Structure 1
Amino acid sequence: MELSLHGNADQFFDLWIRSHGLAVHGDPWRRCPTVPFGSEPGHTGGLMASSEVRINLFHGDRLEYRFCTPSWRQTRRAVPLAEVLAQVEAVDPRRCQRLLLGESPIDHPDFDAILARCKERGIRGVAVETDGRPLAREALLASLKERGVERLFVVCGGARRSVHEQTMMDEGCYLEAMEGLKRAAASGMDLYLVVPVLRWTVRELDPLLDWARGLPGGVKGFLLALPETGQVPVPMRRVLLSYAEQAEAARRVFDECRRWKVEWGFTTRRGVLPCGAGGALDRFGTVFFDRMTYLRHAPSEEFARVAACESCSMSQSCPGVEPAYLEAFGAEGLSPIPLEVSMDWNLKRANTLEQRDFKNVSDFDNDTEGNGRALLRINGHCNMSCAFCFVDRTVPDFDADDILGQIERMAKRDPSHLVLSGGEPTLHPSLPRFIARGKELGFRTVEIQTNGVKAAVPEYAKTLADAGLTKITVSLHSVDPEQSDKITRLPHAFGKTIASMHNFRRLGVLTQIAHVITKANYEQLPNTVRYLREEFPEDEGHLSICFGVAQPISDLVYTWVMPRFDEIKPFMKAALDYCLETRVGFGGMIGQGGYPPCMLDGDLRYYQGNLGNIYRSADWEDQFYKAPRCAECSFDPHCVGVRRLYVETYGDAEIKPFQAELPATPDARVVQAPVVADGALVMLRRRKDDATPVP
């Protein structure tokens, strides 16, 4: 059924169009002709090696912004074929998982030739962004599918004529657009509906979703396009919604999509400002995480700080509020986010459009001969959901034969130490086989990294020990049962984790605890080590703790859970002093741990026992940062530095070189390696065993 919108939206829109006839001068759309679709904008160097690439075939016709571009037909111009083909040639087919041809490419005069070249080059996942009208053409969808198009992103204003035609600025397009959508749903290609969220479309979201679910073949996903205030002409900003209104509309749609198992999300990761969402999207915390990641990689842009920023837990991660938004809506309704709220946001993939590279094999070099370490992630999924976890929990169990093959390869390289991790490795049904194979191949240490929940059952723990398990590292991030279960989001897990450690210690398996230090638990460090010593006395076997600061090892970690080294230092020193007094082993800080001794006043009592355990992954130079002044430090030959994202968040003022007597390292050699300092690429001497000496 088709009705006119009630209220003032239609009247305002018609009046505005008649009185202004406004065209957007120039192209305020910041997306360059080729950008990764759904990922961070602004990258140019090496862009086309991205797994997600966008190529716009028209300038001056931004589908999601047609509502404020009444002259889009006049400003629209096709990108020359030679320019488009040059961009297609630059795409790496081995890495590209999706190529989006954007801004109504079907009408491009050379569209057939462009699609043909994509197919010749073997580019996978070709997708088309369009309005629905062209899809009503006879045999077009069959032709698209035959030529390799797999997905359709169709911009739609609403299920009613008046709303759709006003949004698309295309009088008389409604019937063809709806027919095109029906045909697209039945085509066998993945169909995503894209809806600009405006004051006159927000009431259309539920009816449109209901209508779309009833289409033959249905829709794959329902995506909301949130116009950026600064991209909309000032007179037209009255049709935009505040962040709170956007968030409430999104919550309603996302709930329905989850209910009906339809994928959901925003068209870009910019999304909604967390402090303006009013708690409406707290159950969909992924969208806030995506915004912070997006803005971290976005081109330089001005943001404003408001009063809410002063006490917000995200103040170091969030750049602030867009000035254009403040001009339109003010700062009213922007509230600081408490740490207990931001840490409780759960990272869950909203749709299959998000592509992440999951690395499950890591070989770690070590300066001590015959002391290498190989880590193998056998899955990504987990029965816990810690906010600071850097593993993609959507990854299922890897094939058992593939894992066994990797174990054999690692044994040939260095059969010193095999670590089986996840996700949660005990969820993999073939874990005992993997342990046994590692032992057969001669690994001196076979370790699993686990939360221990499943091994709370004594029989299962014995199965792993009998297979050849020699060491466990159990994750435990609070010794308060209630707080621990809140962190892991798994009720009653704390007691099971403790029980599993007792089981393994009785079986003679070396026991280590992995304790991640966050903004929420660092003050409890002294109490944590005291509890662990009392619970696991020395006469029952050795106990050690692997300390790690919650740092963004991947783009899956919230930066706002990361504490500053200066704020945790007094608590960390008190905890380590207790460990030294009571013979609790500890480590994990240097090397991949990214906690250099200058952060603890250069006190080498905390590091001397671990100088032979400095592990470096193959890509450590890409992950870590060293300031030029680090070359003055006595510890420089041993140190890999601080993780780069820590420095991006807090700066490098805490890095302070010190002088001390250290063991000689005659096998050390130095290599020129690039690091970032003050935004520039500089050269810094770094140690690496297999490098060619610097003349």
Structure 2
Amino acid sequence: MSPGGSTHSVVQVMTNETCNHNCAFCHARRPAERPDVAAAGAVLARIDAAARGGARTLVLTGGEPALRRDLPALVTRARRALDASARPGDFLPDDPRAQPAQVLLETNGALITPARADALRRAGLDVARVHLPRWGDALDTITRDDGGFARTLAGLHALAAAGVALEVSIPLVLRTLATAPEIPTALHAAGLPVRALVLTVPVTAPDPADLATLPDVARAAEAVDAAARRAGIPARFDVGALIPPCLFQHPNRAAHLYTFTPGGAARPDFDHPDACTTCQARSICPGVPREALRRDPQLALRPIRDERTRRRLTVVSSIDDQIRRELCTRDVRRLADGTTVREHIVRINFHCNQVCRFCFVSTHLPMAPEPLIEDAITEIARAGGVLTLSGGEPTLNPRVVDYVTLGKQLGAREIELQTNATRLADPALTRALADAGLDVAFVSLHAAQAAVSDRITGAPGTFDKTVRGLDELAKTSVLVRINFVFCEQNQEEFPALVALTADRWPRAEITVSFVAASTDLVPLTPDILPRYGDVLPYLAEGVHLARERGVTLTGFESMCGIPLCLVPADLARYFALAQASTEVAPGEFLKPDDTCGTCALTAQCFGIRRGYAKLYGTTELRPIRALAAEGGPAADA
């Protein structure tokens, strides 16, 4: 199985070790089968174990699996095992384990006839990844199989005709670097419907002289990717055989070649040299293949410094799939009277004019197609729910006013705009939104000082624009909620923000939020995520000041707040809340039995985020006893 075993969503299952090809750089091929590897019972046991362990893609590999006469039976077993263990609802939407299951076959294609391809498809094969180091008769000189290219090409066409999705695997070794860029054009000319080129980087071989240096691999990968773009074929690295993105001259331009997944930084066959310490991608990148470092211990790495590139490296599936998955969050909003209302958070675009490191939105994604956006708006509006237009920064979408109008015309109960308000400094845009029916502006402002705010947002000058945008909103009837996200850089700013709000925008409310360490987009590090105990003194001071100045504070009831037992305010009103839904963010929160299990507010509270507990533990939680006779709750010491 693949390194990492059951924690990986993509798991390789070895079916055999012999092969009809004899590539010099292949270290997997053996002259004879070992029973403990190739025996049918052993293979079936590995398939079942991988599926039980959480695999969503089972990769049947070898050797050459097509040498097995029982290959269709193995595919059937893999399909049934995946279907029996399917639990996509147990995981967060951006977790690869939440994706549909698929069976993938790694093969050289030379033994795949039309009849065999049909049998494999009927057995449940979804994808065939065909090994293709060269194009044309030159392939035979690498595989040492006379006539092999013609048979591989026929196998590719047979698989496509049977309805099996095609991927082509290109190993980047010394003998293929110069010619690999020819393959995308040739595949396109052959009329083959290849859905992806998968680049692999062997780092061990019977003769190490066959291996290329990693910088040379990076240059070849750039050339292959350029050719693939021209041919209209997406390219990416194999997650198990890649090079670090910092080896590219421009890592941001190569980010789409990577699929870094949750937990992907921990790989037993990779190491993080000292240069990785200061890299922005350290928490998601596995580093450098250990064998490559052994051959070249002085390998020059260029740590990634910019936040945007790190975010671009976190695509966990295809771009289109990720857009569809993240376009609309179907939420349930809890109201003060104990009732709930449906809410759609629709990301009308993903890009943003600020770069907050704690933002969990995939701001590197392109805008979703307009029909998909309109469908999400229509669904919630006709249901009479709350429509929240979000991003990225939604005011960067030229149709933002149209979307407010659409939601209002179709019957949305309330329309909220989540924004940093920098573009709302334009009076015309603000007035147009208000006239279209905007009810609430949820404005991000994380400090009362320009220097602190601009440092957090990574966008100098935008504090002043946000303030001017709030000034314009204050001239309308739109309800303003200022969202303050507590992070390590701004704890001391909260009381000052309360004072600024009371002085400048007295009708505005403040929503208290806390860094949500919920995805790989948010680095799980103390320089971003503060301890609750460090935040609470400033939060308590701000709560006291808000009470004095008449500023309404909200957000404690939200999943973006803090555990209710830590809220430094009267908790009586939270007992009336509806139960916190476990379906909105399944698996994201913890409720330890020794604290939450005895808390009177456990049903109304989301609990503590797993990411926070992983970094700091759960000892700060203080369970709440039932309401005392005088009406106020009491916390355990």
Q: Measure, in 2, the Cα distance between the counterparts of 1:353 and 1:169.
A: 39
Determine if contact 1:188/1:217 at 8 Å carries over to the other structure.
no
Match of 2:133 in 1: 157
User: Is 2:170 aligned against 1:195?
Assistant: yes
Change (3 A) 1:482 1:216: farther
Consecutive unaligned residues of structure 2, counting only runs of 5 or more, are 84-100
User: Is 2:68 aligned against 1:108?
Assistant: yes
Once the two structures are superposed, residues 392-418 of structure 1 have per-residue CA deviations (whole angstroms, 9 ceiling, x without a partner) of 64655547566555456676xxxxx66
Consecutive unaligned residues of structure 1, counting only runs of 5 or more, are 1-29, 32-39, 412-416, 670-685, 687-695
Match of 1:266 in 2: 237
Q: Measure, in 1, the Cα distance between the counterparts of 2:20 and 2:456.
A: 44
Q: Measure, in 2, the Cα distance between the counterparts of 1:568 and 1:224.
A: 47
Match of 2:6 in 1: 43
Match of 2:346 in 1: 378
Q: Measure, in 1, the Cα distance between the counterparts of 2:572 and 2:595.
A: 19
User: Is 2:255 aligned against 1:281?
Assistant: no
Residue correspondence of structure 1 range 80-119 to structure 2 within 5 A: 80=40, 102-103=61-62, 104-112=64-72
SS in 1 for 2:187: helix
Q: Measure, in 1, the Cα distance between the counterparts of 2:169 and 2:351.
A: 33
Determine if contact 1:379/1:398 at 8 Å carries over to the other structure.
no
Change (3 A) 1:475 1:561: farther
Residue correspondence of structure 1 range 166-245 to structure 2 within 5 A: 166=142, 168=143, 170=145, 173-178=148-153, 180-181=155-156, 190-217=165-192, 219-227=194-202, 229=203, 232=204, 236-245=207-216
AA in 2 matched with 1:158? R
AA in 1 matched with 2:254? F
Match of 2:32 in 1: 74
Once the two structures are superposed, residues 245-289 of structure 1 have per-residue CA deviations (whole angstroms, 9 ceiling, x without a partner) of 444433343344345432011122663335x63654233346667
SS in 2 for 1:604: coil
SS in 1 for 2:168: strand
User: Is 2:581 aligned against 1:617?
Assistant: yes
Return the match for 2:405 from 425, 432, 440. 432
Q: Number of residue pairs matched?
A: 595
Cα offset, 1:644, TM superposition: 0.9
Match of 1:449 in 2: 418
Determine if contact 2:387/2:407 at 8 Å carries over to the other structure.
no
Q: Measure, in 1, the Cα distance between the counterparts of 2:20 and 2:478.
A: 61
TM-score by length of 1: 0.65
Q: Measure, in 2, the Cα distance between the counterparts of 1:54 and 1:651.
A: 34
AA in 2 matched with 1:261? G
Match of 2:109 in 1: 132
Cα offset, 1:665, TM superposition: 10
AA in 1 matched with 2:33? T
Task: State the percentage of identical aligned residues.
Answer: 21
Once the two structures are superposed, residues 32-87 of structure 1 have per-residue CA deviations (whole angstroms, 9 ceiling, x without a partner) of xxxxxxxx95228xx9xx7x787665456699998333743523775638975996
Match of 1:541 in 2: 507
Q: Measure, in 1, the Cα distance between the counterparts of 2:224 and 2:452.
A: 33
Determine if contact 1:150/1:189 at 8 Å carries over to the other structure.
yes
Match of 2:529 in 1: 564
Return the match for 1:330 from 278, 297, 301. 297
Q: Measure, in 2, the Cα distance between the counterparts of 1:418 and 1:64.
A: 59
SS in 2 for 1:617: coil
User: Is 2:476 aligned against 1:507?
Assistant: yes
AA in 1 matched with 2:239? T
Change (3 A) 1:579 1:116: closer
Cα offset, 1:473, TM superposition: 1.0
Q: Measure, in 2, the Cα distance between the counterparts of 1:250 and 1:482.
A: 41
TM-score by length of 2: 0.70
Q: Measure, in 1, the Cα distance between the counterparts of 2:411 and 2:309.
A: 40
Change (3 A) 1:108 1:286: same
AA in 1 matched with 2:225? F
Match of 2:222 in 1: 251
Once the two structures are superposed, residues 457-510 of structure 1 have per-residue CA deviations (whole angstroms, 9 ceiling, x without a partner) of 656655654565432213456886999699589x99878766654443322111
Change (3 A) 1:557 1:196: farther
Match of 2:517 in 1: 551
Determine if contact 2:44/2:77 at 8 Å carries over to the other structure.
no
Determine if contact 1:477/1:514 at 8 Å carries over to the other structure.
yes
SS in 1 for 2:151: helix
Determine if contact 2:481/2:510 at 8 Å carries over to the other structure.
yes
SS in 2 for 1:43: helix
Q: Measure, in 1, the Cα distance between the counterparts of 2:180 and 2:464.
A: 45
Cα offset, 1:213, TM superposition: 3.6
Change (3 A) 1:453 1:128: farther
Cα offset, 1:131, TM superposition: 0.9
Change (3 A) 1:87 1:432: farther
Cα offset, 1:316, TM superposition: 5.8
Residue correspondence of structure 1 range 356-375 to structure 2 within 5 A: 358=326, 360-364=329-333, 369-370=337-338, 372=340, 374-375=342-343
Determine if contact 2:171/2:200 at 8 Å carries over to the other structure.
yes
Q: Measure, in 2, the Cα distance between the counterparts of 1:453 and 1:192.
A: 44
Change (3 A) 1:384 1:88: same
Q: Measure, in 2, the Cα distance between the counterparts of 1:662 and 1:339.
A: 49
Q: Measure, in 2, the Cα distance between the counterparts of 1:585 and 1:408.
A: 31
Q: Measure, in 1, the Cα distance between the counterparts of 2:257 and 2:611.
A: 20
Determine if contact 2:239/2:259 at 8 Å carries over to the other structure.
no
Determine if contact 2:270/2:286 at 8 Å carries over to the other structure.
yes
Q: Greater shift after overlay, 58-67 or 250-259?
A: 58-67
Match of 1:294 in 2: 264
Change (3 A) 1:141 1:635: closer
Match of 1:307 in 2: 274
Q: Measure, in 1, the Cα distance between the counterparts of 2:207 and 2:39.
A: 28
Change (3 A) 1:557 1:283: farther
SS in 2 for 1:133: coil
Change (3 A) 1:277 1:459: same
Q: Measure, in 2, the Cα distance between the counterparts of 1:319 and 1:260.
A: 30
Change (3 A) 1:615 1:96: same
Change (3 A) 1:611 1:43: same
AA in 1 matched with 2:260? D
Cα offset, 1:202, TM superposition: 2.3
Determine if contact 2:50/2:58 at 8 Å carries over to the other structure.
no
Q: Measure, in 1, the Cα distance between the counterparts of 2:132 and 2:191.
A: 18
Change (3 A) 1:56 1:307: closer
